[in-house]
Copies of this chain bind each other. A is one copy, B any other.
Amino acid sequence: EINMKRLQRRFYEMASIGSTENEGVHRLALSDQDKIARDTFIDWSKQAGFLVRIDDFGNIYVRKEGTASKKPIVIGSHLDTVPKGGKYDGSLGVLAGFEILESLLEIEPLETPVEVVVFTNEEGARFPNPMLGSGAISGVFSKQHVYDMVDDDGITFESELERIGYKGDKANRLKEFEAFFELHIEQGPVLEQQGLPIGLVKGIQGLSWHTVQFTGESDHAGTTPISYRRDPMQSAAKAIMRIGEWVENLGDETLVTFGKISSLPNTINVIPSEVTFSMDIRHPNKKVLLRRIETAKTLIREVALEDDTQSLCEDLSLMLPVLFDESLIDLLQSSCQQHGIGYHEMFSGAGHDAMYMNNLGPTVMLFSPSVNGKSHCEEEETSWEDIEKSVKVLGESVVRLASS
């Protein structure tokens, strides 16, 4: 029923759009490469005879009608990547969904309509809120907030959406569904360690993003005695190290990551006037997450006080933990059992569009194993043997639900 050859052909064609020299993909949201990926996907959809619609955030919906007037079953993910990211993150979920949609053409027409959705700016790598398209249609972000959002070059979301020709109609937004499924790579090491081909995702841990800035006094590197300095680079180093050590000593599920850093004026012989870095904090429990954020902020303020520098911790995004729909988890589980495919129940460490779709209706995810647990990098890899199992289980679940 599932045509793995066709899926692979499409997958590698998609991976060639924005491909990097080390076999990764660099395809930032609403970039020229993203436009080509979208255009290609829509071409395929129209060739297969599906209805295509685009909403006012650039989310793309490809629909196969049902025989009854029912809420659709939706499968979705994203086509944008982080800078120098991998081929599987997002793209796998979209193209697996599309393969299932095409394979449904070959069986008895179903009562329930089925849609595949491509969400805009899932990564948050270009425009600062991740899962922006799914958050926008599920009431997390206002339209104005999304449209006014700027990238590092000060270019707005709205102007880029218009530029690449993907500013569609508000009426096209997904409003309700029977079920939302997202197949995604795990992006972590758990399934590989367990030696199991499928992760049934019970929920997603909470995450919170911040910009931290230390301000001091810019001065000449050669003429300013150490004791006269108010050096924000020393404060930044201290804060990054202390927060890192605090989290390591906690030894629990708390994660903290400092991915971006820059200094001003960024000159070899000038003590910086300011140093800015990003902070990503995660925990599966809402209360604990909020407490961890407060402790990190306190540690930052303490460093500034000690060093006589100034600190600022700006909140960028807070995504609270979610629990997925239990009956959909049961459905996936029984599809696995029917095919004799092993699975592992787990939480997701990464945010996904399913996190916000969960606000709109019954939602669930399934994971395919990541080789060496690596993701958000060019080495990202998942075996086609494992992918085949996930696509089978997902397709089976969709057909069962659509016929029930």
Chain A interface (Cβ < 8 Å from any Cβ of B): 82-84, 123-125, 128, 130, 186-189, 205, 207, 209, 218-226, 228, 231, 233-234, 236-238, 240-241, 244, 247-248, 254-255, 257-263, 265-273, 275, 278, 280, 282, 316, 348-351, 373-377
Q: A82 near B267 (CB under 8 angstroms)?
A: yes
CB closest chain-B residue, reference A268:
B278
Q: Known: A223-B375, A271-B257. Contact between A237 and B241, CB under 8 A?
A: yes
On chain B, the residues within 8 Å of A222 by CB distance are 187-188, 205, 207, 255, 280, 282, 348-351
CA distance A211 to B14 in the complex (A): 38
CA distance A382 to B189 in the complex (A): 60
The residue that A375 contacts in the complex, of B124, B219, B236, B260, with Cβ under 8 A, is B219
Q: B228 near A83 (CB under 8 angstroms)?
A: no
Q: Known: A220-B187, A222-B255, A376-B218. Contact between A124 and B269, CB under 8 A?
A: yes
Q: Known: A220-B187, A240-B234, A241-B238. Contact between A82 and B377, CB under 8 A?
A: no
CA distance A273 to B228 in the complex (A): 34
Q: B260 near A219 (CB under 8 angstroms)?
A: no
On chain B, the residues within 8 Å of A207 by CB distance are 222, 269
Q: B82 near A373 (CB under 8 angstroms)?
A: no
Most chain B CB within 10 A, of A220, A222, A234, A270, is at A220
Question: What are 29 A-B contacts defined by CB distance under 8 Å?
Answer: A82-B265, A83-B267, A123-B269, A125-B268, A187-B220, A189-B224, A207-B269, A209-B268, A209-B269, A219-B377, A221-B255, A221-B257, A222-B348, A223-B348, A223-B350, A225-B255, A226-B247, A231-B257, A234-B258, A236-B237, A237-B238, A237-B240, A257-B269, A259-B267, A259-B269, A259-B271, A259-B272, A267-B376, A270-B376
Q: B260 near A376 (CB under 8 angstroms)?
A: no
Q: Known: A82-B270, A269-B257. Contact between A373 and B234, CB under 8 A?
A: no
Q: A82 near B375 (CB under 8 angstroms)?
A: no
CA distance A187 to B270 in the complex (A): 11
On chain B, the residues within 8 Å of A248 by CB distance are 226
CA distance A257 to B233 in the complex (A): 9
Q: A124 near B255 (CB under 8 angstroms)?
A: no
Q: A221 near B282 (CB under 8 angstroms)?
A: yes
Q: Known: A248-B226, A257-B271, A272-B259. Contact between A349 and B265, CB under 8 A?
A: no
On chain B, the residues within 8 Å of A266 by CB distance are 83, 259-261
CA distance A84 to B267 in the complex (A): 10
Most chain B CB within 10 A, of A244, A254, A273, is at A244
Nearest 6 A/B pairs, CB to CB = A188-B223, A223-B349, A221-B257, A237-B240, A222-B349, A222-B350
CA distance A201 to B245 in the complex (A): 46
On chain B, the residues within 8 Å of A238 by CB distance are 237, 241
On chain B, the residues within 8 Å of A247 by CB distance are 226
On chain B, the residues within 8 Å of A348 by CB distance are 222-223
Query: What distance in Å separates the Cβ of A321 from its nearest Cβ neighbour in chain B?
Result: 12
CA distance A282 to B314 in the complex (A): 36
